[in-house]
A = this chain, B = another copy of it.
Amino acid sequence: MIDETHAAARTSWVTSANGHPAFPIQNLPLGVFSPVGGSARGGVAIGDSILDIGAALEAGLFSGAARDAAEAASGRTMNPLLEAGPAARHALRRRVGEILDAASLDASKVQGISARLLHDAASSSIHLPARIGDFTDFYAGIHHAHTAGSISRPENPLMPNYKYVPVAYHSRASSVRPSGGTVRRPNGQRKPPEQAAPDFGPCRNLDYELEFGIWIGEGNDLGAPIPIAEASRHIAGFCMLNDWSARDIQAWESQPLGPFLAKSLSTFISPWIVTAEALAPFRIAQPPRPSGDPAPLPHLNDAADQAKGCFDIDFQVLLLTPKMRAAGAAPHVLSRSNAAMLYWTVAQMVAHHTSNGCNLQPGDLFGSGTISGTTPGTEGCLLEMTRGGRNPVSLPNGETRTYLQDGDEVSFRGTAHRDGYVSIGFGECRGTVTEALPAG
Contacts and interface: CB of A to CB of B under 8 A. Distances in A.
A199 interface: yes
Interface string A143-166: 000000100000000010100110
A249 B297 CA distance: 15
Contacts of A187: 225, 299, 355-357
B134 A174 contact: yes
A182 to B, nearest CB: 8
Nearest to A356: B186
A308 B415 CA distance: 56
B173 A134 contact: yes
Nearest to A434: B223
A227 to B, nearest CB: 9
Contacts of A191: 161, 164
A19 interface: no
Contact of A222 (B149, B266, B437): B266
Nearest to A220: B174
Interface string A247-264: 001001111111111111
A360 interface: yes
B359 A175 contact: yes
A172 B175 contact: no
Interface in A184-237: 184, 186-189, 191, 197-200, 203, 222-223, 225
Most chain B Cβ neighbours within 10 Å, of A139, A253, A361: A253
A161 B222 contact: no
A264 B356 contact: yes
B265 A440 contact: no
A4 B189 CA distance: 42
- How many identical subunits does the complex contain? 2
A299 B264 contact: no
Contacts of A352: 261
Nearest to A227: B440
B139 A257 contact: yes
A172 B170 contact: yes
A139 to B, nearest CB: 6
Contacts of A437: 223, 225, 357
Contact of A364 (B133, B174, B364, B439): B174
A167 B258 CA distance: 9
Given A165-B252, A225-B437, A188 B355 contact: yes
Given A258-B258, A356-B246, A253 B297 contact: no
Contacts of A364: 174
A294 interface: yes
B198 A164 contact: yes
A256 B174 CA distance: 23
Contact of A159 (B255, B298, B357): B255
A102 interface: no
A159 B189 contact: no
Most chain B Cβ neighbours within 10 Å, of A170, A203, A262, A437: A170
Given A161-B198, A169-B169, A257-B139, A174 B358 contact: yes
A361 B174 contact: yes
A177 interface: yes
A26 to B, nearest CB: 34
Contact of A440 (B161, B171, B258, B298): B298
Contacts of A174: 133-134, 222, 358-361, 364
Interface string A15-30: 0000000000000000
Given A186-B356, A223-B184, A355-B188, A257 B161 contact: no
A76 interface: no
A93 interface: no
A168 interface: yes
Contacts of A159: 255-256
Interface of A: 133-134, 139, 149, 159, 161, 164-165, 167-175, 177, 184, 186-189, 191, 197-200, 203, 222-223, 225, 246, 249, 252-266, 294, 297-299, 352-353, 355-361, 364, 437, 439-440
Given A184-B357, A188-B355, A266-B357, 8 more contacts: A133-B173, A134-B173, A164-B198, A184-B223, A186-B356, A186-B357, A197-B294, A246-B356
